Amino acid sequence: MSISTQTVTERDKTVLKELGEEIQRVGSLPVQREKAELWRRLNDREPVRPMVYINEEPWAELECDELAPRCEDPWLRRVERGLRIKLYRWNHFPVDMIIEPVIEVGMAYSSTGIGLVEKAERIRHGARVSRHFFPQIFGPEDIEKIKMPEVTSDEEETQRRVSLLESILKDTVRVAAAGIKHIWFTPWDILIRFVPMEDIMTDMIERPDFVDALVSRFVDAKMHELDQIEALGLLDMGANNTRVGSGGYGYTNELQAESGKGQPVGCSQIWGCGNAQIFTEVSPQMHWDFSLKHEMRWLDRWGMTYYGCCEALHQKIDILRKIKNLRKISVSPWFDIPKGLANGAGDYVLSIKPNPAIFAEDTFNEERARAEIARYLDEARGQSVELVMKDISTLRYDPARLDRWAEIAMEEAEKRG
């Protein structure tokens, strides 16, 4: 989308300037640097209290004047929305979030993708939507439907967007072009949209060569795409307030920019991630054979990695050890922490995910929320821990529930400081 200062209204400029001034003010507070150092210590596995992070909120239930857009231009409206969300989090449930005094503009680029387009029925549940996918890959003959992506960078459009925001926000907050700081990589999150999942579970036994070839082809496609992204200079440093995997921030001293200005960022300077959420009930050997073995080609490219999301991994620490650059593992609500620690999970940062179902009941039970947080933190006492509330489908239209959970989580985390 190409826009110019001639098409921007004075109202749009005023709206963005006000937001820019607030981002500059909040981002310059000393607490931002203090929290960044705490995240750095966590990720570098130095002693530090548990860190707290909130993400994936049900924004349809949080709509209010603070979040209401004012800009008329569609692209500026998207910029405005991102800034309003950031400030809403800061004002209501900041926990250990960090706001930097800069407004970033993502580099303009495109990819042709893997050659398949989702076919799905959208099913609405109040303010939420689910999808029922229609399979397109049924056997070996369909694997070739997965194509090799082609990536194109549009440097002129990137500069146009940066220049526009700079012209609006001059003397308020710094504007910078930002490349890709992290890539969510999980083959099975994508493949489940194109294969009949009930059949795939039996195919791992009855047609293992088919499943193996399917995952291999998908990873081939994503590696081909990544090669181009790196060669085009589209990567950017993510050892900052970039979310890593399904966890918290990526601050670390162990991933550094190459010396000299203008040096392109490579994969080895960034966090990578992987997961296989649908494999919770799959054996460690099958998890390795039909997912992690293939993911390793991707994971090996990065400086440090995060593994897991909603799957239970406490019985799979042995296969995770094969990831040489692994630093964080996801501890979902179905992860047995004592068993995981007995299996060696304590060698990694534990990204603990309390169950968001606490928000879905008729009444928010503060005592139970506190007890659950305390149990997680006590079971992981002495370990490097981040507490990440995510996948929040509903607050029952009561935003104060999340505000209060955040207060309780910080109280419990600071007790263990």
Provide the terminal-to-terminal Cα distance of the chain, rounded to the nearest Å.
47
Distance separating alpha carbons of residues 407 and 391, to the nearest angstrom? 19
Distance separating alpha carbons of residues 219 and 213, to the nearest angstrom? 10
Burial pattern 124-136, b for ≥16 Cβ within 10 A else e, equals: eeeeeeeeeeeee
Per-residue pLDDT at 261: 58
Per-residue pLDDT at 130: 87
Mean pLDDT over 272-276 rounds to: 98
Identify the band that residue 312 occupies on the pLDDT scale cut at 50, 70 and 90.
very high
Per-residue pLDDT at 2: 53
CATH at residue 294: 3.20.20.210
Mean pLDDT over 366-393 rounds to: 98
| For residue 381, pLDDT beyond 90 | yes
Q: For the chain, what is the domain count?
A: 1
| Residues 125-131: contacts with CB under 8 Å, at least 24 apart | 127/58, 127/60, 127/61, 128/58, 128/60, 128/393, 128/394
Per-residue pLDDT at 257: 74
What proportion of the chain, given as a percentage, has pLDDT over 70?
97
Per-residue pLDDT at 258: 67
Average pLDDT, the chain: 95
Per-residue pLDDT at 123: 87
Identify the band that residue 316 occupies on the pLDDT scale cut at 50, 70 and 90.
very high
Per-residue pLDDT at 190: 96
| For residue 84, pLDDT beyond 90 | yes
Mean pLDDT over 242-251 rounds to: 98
| For residue 319, pLDDT beyond 90 | yes
> Tens digit of pLDDT for each residue in 199-242?
999 999 999 999 999 999 999 999 999 999 999 999 999 999 99
Mean pLDDT over 162-171 rounds to: 96
| For residue 322, pLDDT beyond 70 | yes
Identify the band that residue 354 occupies on the pLDDT scale cut at 50, 70 and 90.
very high
Per-residue pLDDT at 188: 97
Distance separating alpha carbons of residues 65 and 1, to the nearest angstrom? 27
Closest CA to 386 of 39, 106, 23: 39
Per-residue pLDDT at 111: 98
| For residue 315, pLDDT beyond 70 | yes
Per-residue pLDDT at 260: 54
Identify the band that residue 6 occupies on the pLDDT scale cut at 50, 70 and 90.
low
Per-residue pLDDT at 124: 84
Per-residue pLDDT at 125: 78
Distance separating alpha carbons of residues 408 and 354, to the nearest angstrom? 13
Per-residue pLDDT at 262: 66
Domain that holds residue 82: 5-415
In sequence order, what are the beta bridge partners of 305? 272, 326
> Tens digit of pLDDT for each residue in 391-413?
999 999 999 999 999 999 999 99
Mean pLDDT over 102-119 rounds to: 97
Mean pLDDT over 55-77 rounds to: 96
Using DSSP's 3-state secondary structure scheme, residue 60 falls into helix
Residues sharing a CB contact under 8 Å with residue 227, sequence separation 6 or more, in sequence order: none
Identify the band that residue 263 occupies on the pLDDT scale cut at 50, 70 and 90.
confident
Q: Which of 121-130, 140-149, 179-188, 320-329 shows the lowest per-residue confidence on average (mean pLDDT)?
A: 121-130
Q: Which 3-state string (H, E, C) describes 151-216?
A: EEECHHHHHHHHHHHHHHHCCCCEEEEECECCCCCCHHHHHCCCCCHHHHHHHHHHCHHHHHHHHH
- Please answer whether residues 47 and 380 qualify as being in contact, where contact means their C-beta atoms are separated by less than 8 angstroms: no
Other CB atoms within 10 Å distance of the CB of residue 84? 18
